[in-house]
């Protein structure tokens, strides 16, 4: 499927900003990012 920026702009107003913010906070929390980096380093060593 090809990304269409014009079509994407038309749906921006329908996005739930609070839900997006909560999802980003969960996925990219400091704790999770550190845990992911530690797992990566352990896998390399």
Check whether 1 has a pLDDT greater than 60: no
Question: What's the pLDDT band for 23 if we cut at 50, 70, 90?
Answer: very high
Check whether 41 has a pLDDT greater than 70: yes
Which H or E element spans position 25? helix 17-27
Give CA–CA dist 20/17, Å, rounded: 5
The alpha carbon dihedral of 23, 27, 29, 32 has a sign of: positive
Residue 8 has phi, psi (to 5 degrees) of -65, -40
Check whether 31 has a pLDDT greater than 60: yes
């Amino acid at each position: 499927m090809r990304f269409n920026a014009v079509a994407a702009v038309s749906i921006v107003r329908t996005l739930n900003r609070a839900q997006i913010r909560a999802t980003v906070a969960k996925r990219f929390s400091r704790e999770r990012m550190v845990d992911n980096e530690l797992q990566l380093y352990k896998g390399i060593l």
